[in-house]
Structure 1
Amino acid sequence: MDNYRFILSGGGTGGHIYPAIAIANELKERFPDAEILFVGAKDRMEMEKVPQAGYKIEGLWISGVQRKLTPKNLMFPLKVISSLVRSASILNKFKPHAVIGTGGFASGPLLKVASVKGIPCLIQEQNSYAGITNKLLADKVKKICVAYEGMDKFFPKDKIVKTGNPVRSDLISLSENRDNAMQFFNLDMDKPTLLVLGGSLGARRINELIEDKLSFFKTFGLQLIWQCGKLYYEEYKKYDSEEVKVYPFINRMDFAYTATDMIISRSGAGAVSELSIVGKPVIFIPSPNVAEDHQTKNAKALVAENAAVMIAERDLDTEFEEDFTDLMLTKNRQQELSDNIKRMSLPDATKRIVDEIEKMLGKG
């Protein structure tokens, strides 16, 4: 039987959506006749991104609790009840054989109702510090797929399987040659290249840093591929030149990773997983504005393995130039970071997660 029905739920950010889409693609590969439905939060980015990937999605009226006391918080209990009722209706109608949650608001009510109904549930936690939704669901689900060691401080040990995080399939084996990648960005073959990533929307503090350090980078003979983000492109496109290539968004990340010698990046779970597979020296600048400061915890997990450099935003003015110079001038250190981060990669993550789903279905 491969006409299974699966529901995937996760969203709010790309870090929850893209793993869910990768898992759906692998399920479709193994079970071509399977029906797949996504459940997300209304008005969040999954309502746009999931249909773009070719899947149907239903929306719940749900959002997170605001940290400050706001009128929105007064609506929260009502949203939870509404989402539980709507989840029950979706489950009764679709009758899934398994439900998979990748974190985010919508996965909470859906997996809660599914587990009460006795439907096998699996959650995938991308970060080194578990999100609140997944922590609340831990006792209800059959399996918990994680990307880091030591997750038994959040979840029951007997349910944990270390699989890694799903990443885009075009990055698993970077087959592009450097000549093609350099030509794509119109870069000089003989100059070292720095890739700057602040996420698809951009990161204000990283952009300010790069703007401030353009002449500093020039002293090393560096050329830059700078993804400043859609929100900031109008502000920074004036710096586009022979040595500095400014983009709102890079569609060919395989070319970007092949062309580069060193990377500056945020440390969301998806970025960390991708960069582990890419295996280039990385300086992480975690966003301090995320739940539970999980980006700092993700970066520290790599720093502890001597697999990356991390600089907190508050320390950029005092530490960046020294740390960057040290890394730039020490080839052995670059190689060491490169080797160690690659060792932490788990390129078969999506397949291993779907293996666990198969076991839940009694096929493994």
Structure 2
Amino acid sequence: MNKNLKIVMSGGGTGGHIFPAIAIADEIKKRFPTAEFLFIGANGKMEMEKVPQSGYKIVGLNIAGFDRGNLLKNINLPFKVMSSLMKAKKAIKEFKPDFAVGTGGFASGPALFTASRLGVPIFVQEQNSLAGKTNIFLSKKAKAVFTAYPNMEKFFHGTKTFFLGNPIRKNIITDLTDSKQAKEKLGLNPDKLTILSVGGSLGSRTLNNGWKENLEEINHKGYQLIWQTGKTDFKDLSSSIQHSESIQIKEFISDMALAYSAADIIVSRAGAIAISELAMAKKPVLLVPFPFASEDHQTKNAMTLVEKNAAKMVKDIEMKEKFLPTLLEICENENLRKEMSANLEFFAKPKATEEIVTEILKTLKISS
């Protein structure tokens, strides 16, 4: 069995579900080069593109979540669930996996439920501090649940729960460098306090507006800003704002490790994988959670850090009153910055992927 392991991976909808699944598959592949993988995703979602790009085979289910905004759209949901269960059953029966790993998202529900019904051992990885409904449901049949936050047992009663962190991009762990060198490499003054703002690949309108309104004050204070605008606002912002050596406006940052290294303070949304990367960077962070994430889980993620004094938080609706004062409080207090960095270390889990895979293999008594 050890020589030809077969594994079903399922997770998708967002990068936060997809990339941990790919990272876990890559780690298993490293230990078992002949292992075979079958990813199960949702048609029309980003996993159908990202998984093949990473070299893995994927089957798409015609599944969607419950639409609370438009109840009429849910008429076909029972049929979608039934057809997804049937397709998942066919794929899993043909593939004959040794075990299955789910990282959340629409497709992991039918995929892992079906796997467990067919007697396949299943494992769940939960990225957020508020467990998703799919993962809570699946955990009842799981051999173990792996979490990125402590004290998650309350969601997964009776199932073995391990606080091991989120699998993140390898280069974030390996390529972090000295702050002054990183600033010089980016053409910034190595002696000036530098703020990095990241709002995801599409960007954050809230963060972009926050910077637009307060850029004069940032300039006046002599701070440097690396501002990742995202695709949506980049054209408007780069043409309407005067570029200077101290304000760098970028649509996208390809070398995140370099940007994290250069930063003295980071302003970010509070997605699970973003927070896991920020914890690795160990830089003081101001979180502005995306309020429309399902069940407002970004606010819950942020609060977990705030409660340990590892981050400050400003809500979307508080941006006008609180963004600049909170940011300046961090910028102007070096002791606070040192304390926040030290407290962030609790959430830094550089070996998350390796430890998750080791625990799976241990549970199933598979030696690598």
1:324 maps to which of 322, 327, 344:
327
Q: CA RMSD in A?
A: 1.4
1:228 aligns with 2:229: yes
Q: Offset at 1:336?
A: 0.3
Q: Deviation digits for residues 137-159 of structure 1, max 9, x if unmatched? A: 12121111111122122112442
Q: Offset at 1:356?
A: 1.9
2:53 maps to 52
Distance 1:135 1:308 in 2: 27
Q: For the Cα contact (< 8 Å) 2:180–2:191, is it kept in 1?
A: no
1:351 maps to 354
Number of residues paired by the alignment?
364
Distance 2:230 2:120 in 1: 40
Q: For the Cα contact (< 8 Å) 1:185–1:245, is it kept in 2?
A: no
Q: For the Cα contact (< 8 Å) 2:291–2:316, is it kept in 1?
A: yes
Give 3-state SS (helix, strand or coil) of 2:252's partner: coil
1:286 maps to which of 271, 275, 289:
289
1:201 maps to 202
Q: Residue type of the partner of 2:204?
A: A
Q: Offset at 1:292?
A: 0.9
Identity %: 46
2:144 maps to 143
Can you give the 5+ residue segments of structure 2 that lack an aligned partner in the other structure? Answer: none
2:173 maps to 172
Question: 5 Å matches for 1:1-364?
Answer: 1-178=2-179, 180-238=181-239, 239=241, 240-363=243-366
Q: Which moves more between the two structures, 223-232 or 123-132? A: 223-232
Q: For the Cα contact (< 8 Å) 2:210–2:323, is it kept in 1?
A: no
Structure 1's consecutive aligned runs of 4 or more residues displaced over 6 angstroms after TM superposition are none
Q: For the Cα contact (< 8 Å) 2:285–2:312, is it kept in 1?
A: yes
Q: Offset at 1:38?
A: 1.1
Q: For the Cα contact (< 8 Å) 1:120–1:360, is it kept in 2?
A: no
TM-score, length-scaled by structure 2: 0.96
Q: Offset at 1:183?
A: 4.0
Q: Offset at 1:172?
A: 1.6
TM-score, length-scaled by structure 1: 0.97
Distance 2:150 2:176 in 1: 30
Q: For the Cα contact (< 8 Å) 1:97–1:361, is it kept in 2?
A: no
Can you give the 5+ residue segments of structure 1 that lack an aligned partner in the other structure? Answer: none
Q: Offset at 1:256?
A: 0.3
Q: Which moves more between the two structures, 336-345 or 291-300? A: 336-345
Distance 1:44 1:183 in 2: 39
Q: Offset at 1:174?
A: 3.8
Distance 2:79 2:159 in 1: 34
Q: Residue type of the partner of 2:163?
A: K
Distance 1:64 1:342 in 2: 35
